[in-house]
Amino acid sequence: MKISSFQVRCVIVPMPEPLRTASGTVGVSPLVLLTVNTDAGAQGHSILFSYGLSAQKPLAELMRNLESVAVGQPLAPADLSSRLHAHFRMLGTEGLVGMALAGIDMAVWDAFARAHELPLSTMLGSSPRPVQAYAGISYEGALGSGHSAEKWARKGFKAVKAKIGYPTVAEDLAVVRAMRSAMGPDAAIMVDYNQSLGTSDAARRLRALEGEGLAWIEEPIVAHDHAGLVQLAAATTTPLQAGENWLGALGFRHAFDAGVRGLAMPDAMRCGGVTGWQQIATLGQLYGVALSNHFWPEVSAHLLCATPTAHWLEYMDWWNPILEEPLDVRDGMAYTSERPGSGVEFNEAAVQRYLV
């Protein structure tokens, strides 16, 4: 079975609610949708999120340009990943190039699993199973965060994560305590600074949050400041989380070798797709690092099933409007699809509605 063509489309999907962080606000999802076709009729799908409108069309055009490299190649995900990375050895595989390669990798793995009529998790040597999930809360202040936590609790979630990084640490604490009040003493509460602090300010705020029983504090400082993360981790008993901005398996190895340990969260679009995640899962097992995902819940649920140190699934419903069957989440657990493939199936009527 060989790859015969790509279909690349751009859509803009409205957010259920604007994503607000200490670093800025995102109101819509500019997505690039890829369908990989094969000469035997099997298809595979993936979604890429360009964050900003300015990067959407360049990303789509790059993926279209890569069609000529992939067409005629066997439907063999690991081999194609190696071929595409070699194609960019001189330019490098970061930024938009890395995103495009990850999108192709996810779609090819989806087609590969569909061709074998198996769920992606089974193709990776595991099997579909429920994965513990948490819901995200935007930069909404104490009152809004408390209301959102209560909403997610009513839906059965036992864990939530909020964006913080307010002008004062007192406001950060108020958000945490509002969520704790809404969720109860046994809930897992996480917070995310989105790299908004300097090292000294982060140290001060981490000390203030020390007694709040947080499951983790995410990206308090720039994610690639490995020495700073190690220094902060040594000064607090609250676990620190990072990894969504690390690029590929090599980025994770560099972080782990620098002493950043305990928790990490690969992003399927930034870490190299399914193939990159597999490499990082092996590193996580070797270094003793618990792995959660960032975004891409449908694909990531399968990946976590096949990850020896799997931790939490980050659930977000932003792209549900274009999915035929969104991820099934009940009572705080994500139920990995048992359908062949990754679980990504486009609702064509919705895609046409949001097409740009």
Catalytic residues: 163, 294
- Give the Cα separation of 104 and 1 in Å (integer): 16
- CB neighbourhood size of 146 (10 A): 22
CA-closest candidate to residue 267, choices 290, 240, 300, 301: 300
First to last CA, the chain: 32
Burial 28-52 (b: 16+ CB within 10 A, else e): bbbbbbbbbbbeeebbbbbbbbbee
CA neighbor of 313 nearest in space, from 135, 126, 168: 135
